[in-house]
Amino acid sequence: MARRPPQGVQMLGSLLAAIAIVAAAIAIVTAHFGPTSSAELDARQERLEQREENIEELQELEEERRERDR
Amino acid sequence: MEDLIEELTRGNVTEVKVLLASIVLGLAVYQVLLAAVTYGWLRLPFLESGAAGWTHRASGDTILVLTVVVAIMCIGYSGFEDGGAHAVVATILLGVFATKVLVVRLGGRISRVLPLLGVSLLILFGITWLTSAGDFLGVG
């Protein structure tokens, strides 16, 4: 029969396995949540605001063009 | 209490509870495996009973702390009233958990019920998770 690793190594290994389980649980659950970090939410908000500004700008330009045409 | 929990979780109360409960469930499954090695029911070529028992206790302490944190968040934020089956099962779980800790501390002949309490705890953790975190994640 193969010899088992020393007691300390066994303890460390089994503890590392527990840490791996915790890491896997965090990865799986946060993947379900999707991007909810404040940095990503801020970036998303900024993109939305930028898009709204662009639309407003385009509308203004369109209105100016119409007025000039009249 | 509600405000404190909201502040500590930055408004992500449910997400934090789901995450902690999922970690507890993962560790609870591992606990049963470690207990099986400790009692000699499962023989692994790389893990002895002593080392498995040591990790079982360390992991168990972690589970206890996380369970108490989740319970405080649940009761402090949502209360008992709207808990339904989840609240009932979770209360039984806390009772069984407290009994297991007491039996471990007392030792002696009463320790023979530890495997039964351990398996019961895993089942209760599973049901509690399914009726809350599982529901939230679309599993339950």
Residues of chain B with pLDDT under 70: 140
Alpha-carbon distance of B135 to B86, in angstroms, equals 11
DSSP B78: T
How does pLDDT run across B40-57, given as a tens digit for each residue? 999 999 999 999 999 999
How does pLDDT run across B60-81, given as a tens digit for each residue? 999 999 999 999 999 988 887 7
First to last CA, chain B: 28
Query: For chain B, what is the radius of gyration of the CA atoms?
Result: 16
A7, A21, A36 ranked by CB distance to B51: nearest: A7
- B87-118 per-residue burial string, b: 16 or more CB within 10 A, e: under 16: bebbeebbebbeebeebeeeeeeeeeebeebb
B10, B23, B55 ranked by CB distance to A14: nearest: B55
**Chain centroid, CA A17 distance in Å:** 26
Mean pLDDT per 10-residue segment, chain A (70 residues): 81 94 94 70 84 93 88
ipTM, interface predicted TM-score of the complex: 0.85
> Which residue from A minimizes the CA distance to B66?
A22
Alpha-carbon distance of B63 to B56, in angstroms, equals 10
| Sole residue written with tokens 């989740």 | B70
